[in-house]
Chains A and B, each alone.
Chain A
Amino acid sequence: MTTGKYFGKSVLRLEDKNMLTGNVKYMDDIEIPGQLHAAFLRSDYAHARILKIDVSEALKRPGVVAIYTAEDFGDFWKPGPLLVPPPTAIDGSQFNARTLVPIAKDKIRYSGEVLAVVIAESRYIAEDAFDDIIIDVDPLPAVVDLEKAWEDTSVLVHDDLPSNMAALVKQEVGSYEEAKKKADVVVSRRMLIEHVAGAAMENRGFIASWDDQNQVMTIWANTQSPLTIRGSVARALNLAESQVHVITPFIGGGFGPKVMTSLSDDVLLPWISLKLKRPIKWMEDRRENFLATTSERDQVHHCEIVLKKDGTILGFKDVFYHNTGAYDSYGMTVPLNTQTHTISNYRVPNFYSEIRMVFTNQMVVTPVRGAGRSEGVFAMERMLDFAAKELGISPVEIRLKNLLKAEELPLNTGVIGQDFVVNILDSGDYLGNYQKCLAEIDYDKFRKEIQPKARAEGKRMGIGMVAFTEGTAVGPYEGCKITVSTSGKVTMATGYSTQGQAHYTVFAQIIADQLNVKIEDVRVVTGDTNLFAWGAGTFASRGAALVGAAAYLAAQKVRAKIFSTASKKLEVPEEEIELCEGSVCVKGQPETSIPLGMLASLANPMRGVVEPGVEPGLEATAYYGPPHGSTGSGAMGVIVSIDEETNKPTIERMVMVDDCGTVINPLVVEGQLQGGISMGIGNTLYERLVYDENGQLLTASFMDYLMPLATDMPEKLEIIHNHAESSLKVNPLGIKGVGEAGAIPPGPAIVQAIEDAFGVAGFEILETNLSPSQIYEYLKKAAK
């Protein structure tokens, strides 16, 4: 199914009009009568032993209702669950689970860690109470540098472990060392992948409201994982899952960090609400979001590539340090993504990759849009650039030589990924993407005319041309339930939560086509655990592919039920029935019809007999779990000009070619790509979380953490969809994810272009984030 009235069309979003008029409720818009406000007193120290916390004075402050420290939670206090299982699927992997604690007890392990929870009549008063809490600690040296942290001599984040090793995972395909022996050229480099924030415009928030009469805990959370929260709250409070109702309001952006759970809020506030029998509300502020919401990247790569003289890749080796922060509750999703994406879309017969995941005195690292893929692709793309220089060939030539061709897919790469399944590059035309991008940006013209002309005028202009893959749509599964109401309106409920991805519209497009109803008559409900309670969560660019497929399957089941029910009621064979808009009718006799709403009533008779094996109503539930993920792919070309005197880069032109499989809604896909690109540009030229040697975050505001602005965007941005028809479609609709694609290639493309603009021997960029000042410093180094 790739055509339909709605499927494949740029349908305008159904959710827009309410959002545009301020007529939807986000997290902080939820107010529960009788609610109290929570504020978390957070540690200024990154690493310290707690000697004493005295809250007695603070409790005297008018308006303060209660204050809790770790001791007050008694047996309830314990380290949280391991949210993602350890990588036992990978032979020989070592993993030390040290899961996040909800509030510091004995020892502080990161700056921003919660020391006390103040419950008060208002947030203002709760923050006032911080002044009166006496904290006595014994500071310890902070573990910040990833490579030093790995050494046996380092200070320990967890005293009960012999080192700061959180995990050690080695994967090898072929034999790298054998390949190296045969190589003509060996190129090795050390590269930094800098630390960035998800920085959704809406901060996190949480409300817990215990209803003592009904014995139900209602939770509002702007989370990507409502079902995880339902399960963990039920478990922690010894309730049945039916006693925990999690509702996600409209969510102001996710980008990854809102997937994290078992944090101070979702662990402690339900307990407090139960104890005080009052609704408790917490709304994170921007400072807290920087300090204590998860973030990502932050790796150090030691890469080596070995090649033949003609540029053919023989092998690639990557030993990389990955910062997991003070705990590793979220397992190894990010570094495993890096491991699978280092090969990216190239022919790499011999591959060795080693993850050294390190504990540091920083907040936990979990996926942020790009999620490990950006790092792997950056490492490979940069190494190709360095290898090309070494070989005296162009960066384009080396890629054309090594990119996988459409006929080489599907390809089992032999590398196990974040889903613990061997990574299969299922379909796509990697070489074709790249060639298309070269043609669109007119690479030859730039090289032959534009760049020489600019150089002659004393201007610096450069071009960067890279390729990437985006592993998407991994399992385990998602599902939904579709119900035709007696009004004829159709409701689709899914456990998948939504943060602006147009789910209300794209799922409705699929369903409206299958049931032949007006799209406005399809209502999508996301992330309300009382309406649908199965699923894993919003991550890894999997909503459209997995929930979309489940919607398609459920709609087909409902459609079948419509036909079988109508056949009986109309007393004609099913083959003679068709769906007219909003009703079911006899072919060729549109006047002989039953409106869907009436059919829904008829399918739920109040008297008489329902035949065995027939379920009442026009309703069906379906699940979809893919055998493995599906890999999107693409290429990016970028032309950058640089102020000769200040080194400030301007992105003149950017062309992105993307293959995300079948497109449900081109307008939405374009929006996803543009948004991802802005994040990729931000990560490369502006955004950077900086911790000092004491583990203090120096960039805990938008004054210091620079978000990409409208004037930072490319002067000209072109996006080309290059869907390769392929024999193998993982998904019944041929959909692949696209949410993260845009964020992946800008980094390597921009730095390649900047290097190209200078064309200075020895000028090499070895990190992902680059200010004009850093460019200046790199140039100084090159001049030496």
Chain B
Amino acid sequence: MKPAKFDYYAPSSLDEALDKLAELGYDGKVLAGGQSLVAAMNFRMARPTALVDLNNVPELSYIKPTEDGGLAIGTMTRVFTVENNAEVAKRFPLLVEVAKYIAHPQIRRRGTFGGAIAHADPAGQLPSIAVLMNMKALIRRKGEERWVDGQDLIIGPFMTVIEPDEMLAELVLNAWPARTGYKYVQVSRQSGGYAQSAVASIVTLDENDKCKDVRMVLMSVGEVPILSQKAGEILIGNTPTREVIAEVAEVVTSEEIDPATDLHATADYRRSITRVLAVRSLTEAFERAK
């Protein structure tokens, strides 16, 4: 289990990194925290021709407030830094809640926020949260930049719209309106392990305690994170009673997800726990929104 050879570049600025990616084209691959990539390389399941290491680009690591009360997070910010950042805890406590479930502390110390999202592991928490929060992804290429909505970023398992000569540079998290609640829940066989199903919700109540907005994402029950459409159709404008929430859970699990059977869970079991998790997630999110 030793990695194959590769060419290695360690640019010290963003421009230099983009130059290198442009030069390498399809041969280049960004090395962020490496907590998934290096493991895959050790198995020789990943064999990049060239790595462009972003760990020496300090300008990609930051958490800064945006004008409208949100946060911009540089792609190389360590997950552990995000998890322990006071501004994140204040504005987006969901991220703190989720982070605890991501692998183990030693992995989060090194793994990066942007790297985890760009890796688009269908069992990864952060890609799902990027979809859920519809984080705005800043994708850079030499001399160019474009913004992609989080919900359009991921196109398949381990696949995103990011091209080989591009990099995910920043994620912008828009401020939540008042009376917004959230909850991430998952079932995994062990702490730090892959979830057999996970559900995260962000909900907003109006002044009459009716649901004003709801976003719910379902993870590990399809090839990509699934953003529920039905949740909004059923809930918005209604009081989120136990019955309504149960109805959402029922409809979502029977119509929107497509779980598979693997070593750790059957499709049926996944469906059954997803229903439970949807209820738990929504119930707590509405509770918190009050």
Contact = CB atoms under 8 A, between A and B. Distances in A.
Chains A and B directly touch (beta carbon < 8 Å): yes
Interface of A: 123-124, 127-128, 131, 285-287, 645-648, 685-686, 688, 690, 698-699, 701, 703-704, 706, 709, 711-712, 771-773, 776-777, 780
B269 A776 contact: yes
B190 interface: yes
A703 B266 CA distance: 18
B106 to A, nearest CB: 13
Given A127-B44, A773-B196, A698 B263 contact: yes
A709 B269 contact: no
A123 B2 contact: yes
A685 B189 CA distance: 9
B1 to A, nearest CB: 4
Contact of B5 (A128, A709, A771): A128
B152 to A, nearest CB: 29
A773 B265 contact: yes
A686 B189 CA distance: 8
B266 A776 contact: yes
Contacts of A123: 2
A773 B264 contact: yes
B105 to A, nearest CB: 13
B191 interface: yes
The 10 closest A-B pairs by CB, nearest first: A773-B269, A285-B1, A773-B265, A645-B276, A124-B2, A776-B269, A711-B191, A646-B187, A646-B273, A127-B2
B26 interface: no
A645 B279 CA distance: 11
Contacts of A771: 189, 264-265
A690 B263 contact: yes
B268 interface: yes
Interface in B1-32: 1-5
Contact of B189 (A131, A706, A780): A706
Given A124-B2, A127-B2, A698-B263, A686 B190 contact: yes
A777 B187 contact: no
Contacts of A646: 187, 273, 276
Contacts, number: 63
B147 interface: no
A703 B190 CA distance: 11
A772 B43 contact: no
B193 interface: yes
Identify the interface centre among A699, A711, A773, A780: most chain B CB within 10 Å of its CB.
Answer: A773
Contacts of A711: 190-191
Interface string B191-203: 1111010000000
B66 interface: no
A285 B44 CA distance: 13
Contacts of A712: 190
Nearest to A130: B44
Contacts of A772: 187, 189, 196, 265, 269, 273
Contacts of A709: 190-192
A385 to B, nearest CB: 24
22 contacts: A127-B2, A131-B4, A285-B1, A286-B1, A287-B1, A686-B190, A690-B263, A698-B263, A699-B263, A704-B263, A706-B190, A709-B191, A709-B192, A772-B196, A772-B269, A772-B273, A773-B264, A773-B270, A776-B268, A777-B268, A777-B269, A780-B268
A648 B190 contact: no
Contacts of B4: 127-128, 131
Nearest to A125: B2
Nearest to B269: A773
A124 B5 CA distance: 9
Contacts of B269: 647, 772-773, 776-777
A317 to B, nearest CB: 33
Interface string B164-187: 000000000000000000000001
Contacts of A124: 2-3
Nearest to B192: A709
B229 to A, nearest CB: 25
B241 interface: no
Contact of B266 (A645, A704, A777): A777
Interface in B191-234: 191-194, 196
B45 to A, nearest CB: 10
A549 B44 CA distance: 50
Nearest to A711: B191
Interface in B140-180: none
B84 interface: no
A689 B190 CA distance: 17
B272 interface: yes
A645 B197 CA distance: 13
Contacts of A688: 263
B125 to A, nearest CB: 16
B39 to A, nearest CB: 8
Contacts of B276: 645-646
B257 to A, nearest CB: 16
A773 B272 CA distance: 10
B273 A645 contact: yes
A509 B273 CA distance: 54
A699 B189 CA distance: 15
A286 B44 CA distance: 13
A778 to B, nearest CB: 11
A44 to B, nearest CB: 13
Query: Which of A646, A686, A776: most chain B CB closer than 10 A?
Result: A646
Contacts of A128: 4-5
Contact of A648 (B187, B192, B266): B187
Contacts of B189: 648, 685-686, 706, 771-772
